[in-house]
Amino acid sequence: MNFLAASIESLGAKVVGWFTVGYAMFAFLAKAGLLLLDPTTWNRATFDVVVKQIYFTAVQILHVFLGYALVISWLIITIILSTARDFGLTAFASEMTIRVLVLELLPFLTALFVALRSGSAINTEVALMQVNNELDALAHCKVPPMQFEFLPRLIGGVFSVVFLAGLAGLLALLMGYLAIYGISTAGFEPYTQTIAKIFDFTILAGLIVKCALFGLAVTLIPVTAGLETPKKLFMVPVSVLRGMMRVFFAIVTIEVVSLALKYV
Amino acid sequence: MALMAAVAALPDDVARVALELPLRANLSALDNIALIPLYQRHYDTAESIRQAQAMLEQLGYAGIALLRDPDMTPAERFVTQLARALILRRPRLVIDRPGAMLYDEFYPALIRQLAARADMTGTWEIYDFNWNQVLYKQALDSE
């Protein structure tokens, strides 16, 4: 009986914990959203930090990311083409390539890339700021941490994932064309027709929304996880671990929901 | 305990220099100070940097402008925190337990020297433990 009560209590505590974390995250998002709509937020200082953040998250890693997207795209396209040839489905190869790579795999891998590179850094930095009282110091100086530290990271994350996924998608489309038709222009018309058939308004809007949600997940979750950190230095790795696990689950959930909405 | 209570009771319009109010670790001394004119008085970046540099020059520490917190000596870190507090332009400045920040300096003399250079309006107050009073007396006697 004691075991049962303890199990129920433990489960209840976990559920309450999840709700608390979820509430904190949505409350933070609502605050950030309201601040975004406030014209006074958009002063020169905030704009400068947003530009800097976009540079660090998207531009600084561009060459590494494009190399990585190139290799992944080339491999996946080669696998799809050889499989399509084996099963006599060459006619569907271009559509399959676009659907698998541009709509699903590249946005997902982009989100993982940004999460591992920037999300973990954001989580660690915010946790350290919290532990070292740097946020209190900013508040004492009446420098708003939301405008100076957090909002630029959220905007930078969303912009970076949308921008990088878009760029990787374009690269994959180009690679797909070269792999299927070579350097001849003969396949231009059927290939562009396939692209136009796939990318109707709903699919395109869905892709942009999905990438924006990925971007939000890889920045919002690390920021809120960092802010939850108790003021003890040894809790920083725990905070990063929790934050990154939540980011992973959020990315997978967004991908699964997006697939279900599209194909189920 | 009385000292802690006095610090806790300080109103909002007091600029504090304290161990619990550190610098932003990933910003240079200049950027830490420039944040105040940038966000509070909405100057552009160049003007905010100019004001921050002028403040460091006034305190005689222009050379630390590009250093980040981990690369500073305790005195350089204290001066940056002091410059950040001074640029707030609040009527009262409280230096809270300077011994905790300036642990390798004879700090009453350093603070006196900085106060002489700062040439600011408003009052400076030092909150320190009773047993450190003798240090301030020594600093006065040595002049």
pLDDT at A62: 93
Position A24 in a domain: no
Residue A141 forms contact with B (CB below 8 Å): yes
Looking at the DSSP bridge assignments, the partners of residue B96 are B127
Distance CA B108, CA B126 (A): 10
Instruction: Give tens-digit pLDDT for A206-258.
Output: 999 999 999 999 999 999 999 999 999 999 999 999 999 999 999 999 999 99
Range in A13-22, A155-164, B108-117 the model is least confident about:
B108-117
Q: Identify the CA nearest to B96 among candidates B106, B111, B118, B117.
A: B111
- How far does A155 lie from chain B, in Å, by closest CA? 19
Instruction: Give tens-digit pLDDT for A120-158.
Output: 999 999 999 999 999 999 999 988 888 888 999 999 999
pLDDT > 60? residue B1: no
Task: Give the count of domains, chain A.
Answer: 1
Taking contacts as CB-CB distances below 8 angstroms, the residues of chain A near B22 are 132-134, 137
Position A216 in a domain: yes
For residues A176 and A194, the answer to whether their CB atoms sit within 8 Å is no
Amino acid at B7: V
Distance CA B101, CA B83 (A): 15
CA atoms within 13 A on the CB side of B32: 30
Q: Which residue in A136, A140, A144 is closest to B39 by CB distance?
A: A144
Instruction: Give tens-digit pLDDT for A61-112.
Output: 999 999 999 999 999 999 999 999 888 888 888 888 889 999 999 999 999 9
Residues A19-45, mean pLDDT to the nearest whole number = 87
Distance CA B124, CA B108 (A): 13
pLDDT > 80? residue B2: no
pLDDT > 60? residue B137: yes
In A87-187, which residue ranges form alpha helices assigned H by DSSP? 93-97, 106-114, 120-131, 134-140, 145, 151-181
* Range(s) of the domain holding residue A125: 44-263
- The interface predicted TM-score of the complex, written ipTM, equals 0.86
% of chain A at pLDDT higher than 90: 68
Distance CA A155, CA A49 (A): 10
Distance CA A215, CA A233 (A): 28
- How far does B21 lie from chain A, in Å, by closest CA? 4
Cross-chain residue pair A134–B16, CB shorter than 8 Å? no
Give the residue extent of every domain in chain B: 2-141
Check residues A247 and B106 and name the one with the higher pLDDT. A247
% of chain A at pLDDT higher than 70: 100
Position A1 in a domain: no
pLDDT at B112: 85
- How far does B90 lie from chain A, in Å, by closest CA? 10
pLDDT > 80? residue A51: yes
Distance CA B59, CA B50 (A): 14
In whole numbers, what is the pLDDT of chain B averaged over residues?
86
Taking contacts as CB-CB distances below 8 angstroms, the residues of chain B near A137 are 20-24
**pTM of the model as a whole:** 0.86
Q: Which residue in A45, A136, A138 is closest to B38 by CB distance?
A: A45
pLDDT at B91: 86
In whole numbers, what is the pLDDT of chain A averaged over residues?
91
Residue A95 forms contact with B (CB below 8 Å): no
Among 3.40.50.300, 3.30.2270.10, 3.30.1330.60, 3.10.129.10, what is the CATH number of B2-141?
A: 3.40.50.300
Instruction: Give tens-digit pLDDT for B6-35.
Output: 666 677 788 999 999 999 998 999 999 999
pLDDT at B119: 67
Q: Identify the CA nearest to A55 among candidates A159, A194, A200.
A: A159
pLDDT at B142: 67
Instruction: Give tens-digit pLDDT for B30-68.
Output: 999 999 998 888 888 899 999 999 999 999 999 999 999
